[in-house]
Structure 1
Amino acid sequence: MELESYRYIAIDGPIGAGKTSLAKRLASLWDAQVVLEQPEENPFLADFYRNAGQHAFQTQVFFLLQRIRQLQAPLDPALLEGRFVADFMLEKDMLFAGLTLAGEELALYETLYLQLRPQARLPDLVIHLQAAPEILQARIAERGVAIEEGISLDYLQRLSECYSQFFYHYEGAPVLTVNTEHLDPAHNDADLRTLLQHIEEMRGKRAFLNQGG
């Protein structure tokens, strides 16, 4: 499909995969509107990374309300002009909820999600970024964000598995899965050209980009 046909592109993947950097790069390239996650606004997140069991519900509810607020205006068909790039999908909220909640809390969260989720358009294309959990952990340590210091390798492993399962079954939009272990389209021009070529050559619902190291 021609690049111009993709008006709304969502980039997602586990923490440390490079979502925000790529969203900014593509938005700049296409002169597109960009919407970015704002985890630093979540007052429960640092406590969640230290003790997920005690702080998961309030952390997830805050993110749900925040993401709905962020996406409501940009995804209104009457307001959406030009291109739009986001470094998250609203649908992933249930992925995180399933990973961190259980029992009555999960049931309550699902009810909130279904009640509050806007009837918004789906992305025209999803770019799913992935990397080995050990690489994700190294990237997180390198960027040195204090709120992320409590993220464990076990959590990243489980999160990566959840993302893989989620996108294996996802049918809402075409998905291009990109292994970022040896590919950096956000900062490397040659890698960016490779990514854009794969996007333009996509046919069907699934495609994969995996450059060997």
Structure 2
Amino acid sequence: MFTQFPYVVIEGPIGSGKTTLARMLAEKFSVELLSEKAEANPFLTRFYQDAQRYALPTQLFFLFQRSRQIEDMAQRDMFGQPTVSDFFLEKDPLFAKLNLDDEEYSLYHQIYHHLQLKAPKPDLVVYLQTPVDALMDRIEERNISYEQGMPREYIARLSEAYSEFFHAYDASPLLIVNNEKLNIIKDPEAFNLLIDRIRQIKSSREYFNPNF
């Protein structure tokens, strides 16, 4: 798999399982794991308690965190070896546009462009497209304290923003996965089935709709 696609990005909304899948792939194939480490953001808990007040510092922390990660990549030449990541830089403005007001977004936009970030282009992006009800169930199941009580309306807006983003995305080969019934944690067969499907990719945009 990583011979065909040396740099794989797993993406999807909160609760889609992108971090779990990226970690499982890294362990199975003994490749580098690049993770966004959301828990390191000191503003994140407060954002979920008062989104309007803490959206900007939360967003800027993530932006600078990812900026440092990209710099580290360049210094260590990480992408000379196979890598799987649970985020990519292109999604950062998606969250910013969703969470910031006009003035805050204008400031964010200036900082984003001032940084002149140039992230490596993925060889493959796997988008875990997950229905809102399934996202809400999985958020509840994983029981991360600051995520509990997250409004369904916010998750719905986030899910829609992801769908719109990937509808237009064409910078890298893209596999869109119907993630409603694909439970890689509880079902090893699902994990292996997804790996087999990735190995079969031949074109720039493909779909995987597993039936269980």
CA contact (8 A) 1:75 1:120 kept: no
Report the residue type matching 1:14 in the other structure: P
Q: 5 Å matches for 1:155-194?
A: 155-194=154-193
Provide the residue aligned with 2:25 in structure 1.
26
Residues in 1 aligned to 2:136 and 2:74: alpha-carbon distance in whole angstroms: 33
Pair 97,115 (structure 1): closer, same or farther in 2 beyond 3 Å: same
The structural deviation recorded for 1:149 is 1.8
Provide the residue aligned with 1:153 in structure 2.
152
Q: In structure 1, the residue corresponding to 2:127 is in which secondary structure?
A: strand
CA contact (8 A) 2:11 2:128 kept: yes
The structural deviation recorded for 1:97 is 0.6
CA contact (8 A) 1:8 1:84 kept: yes
Provide the residue aligned with 2:77 in structure 1.
78
Report the residue type matching 2:8 in the other structure: I
Provide the residue aligned with 2:15 in structure 1.
16
Q: 5 Å matches for 1:1-213?
A: 3-74=2-73, 78-213=77-212
Q: In structure 2, the residue corresponding to 1:74 is in which secondary structure?
A: helix
Q: Residues 102-149 of structure 1, C-alpha deviation per residue, up to 9 Å, x if partnerless?
A: 312111111111122422211110011121111111111111111212
The structural deviation recorded for 1:77 is 7.9
Residues in 2 aligned to 1:117 and 1:192: alpha-carbon distance in whole angstroms: 37
CA contact (8 A) 1:16 1:136 kept: yes
Pair 28,80 (structure 1): closer, same or farther in 2 beyond 3 Å: same
The structural deviation recorded for 1:15 is 0.4
Q: In structure 2, the residue corresponding to 1:14 is in which secondary structure?
A: coil
TM score, norm. by length of structure 2: 0.92
Report the residue type matching 1:64 in the other structure: L
Residues in 2 aligned to 1:206 and 1:81: alpha-carbon distance in whole angstroms: 25
- Identity of aligned pairs, percent? 40
TM score, norm. by length of structure 1: 0.92
The structural deviation recorded for 1:198 is 1.8
Q: In structure 1, the residue corresponding to 2:80 is in which secondary structure?
A: coil
The structural deviation recorded for 1:204 is 2.1
Count matched residues: 212
CA contact (8 A) 2:55 2:100 kept: yes
What is the RMSD computed on CA atoms of the aligned residues?
Answer: 1.8
The runs of at least 4 aligned residues of structure 1 exceeding 4 Å deviation read: none
Residues in 2 aligned to 1:85 and 1:50: alpha-carbon distance in whole angstroms: 31
The structural deviation recorded for 1:5 is 2.1
Pair 117,150 (structure 1): closer, same or farther in 2 beyond 3 Å: farther
Report the residue type matching 1:205 in the other structure: S
Residues in 2 aligned to 1:174 and 1:91: alpha-carbon distance in whole angstroms: 14
Q: In structure 1, the residue corresponding to 2:135 is in which secondary structure?
A: helix
Pair 186,7 (structure 1): closer, same or farther in 2 beyond 3 Å: farther
Q: Residues 65-94 of structure 1, C-alpha deviation per residue, up to 9 Å, x if partnerless?
A: 112222332355834332111111111110
The structural deviation recorded for 1:170 is 1.0
Gaps of 5+ in 1: none
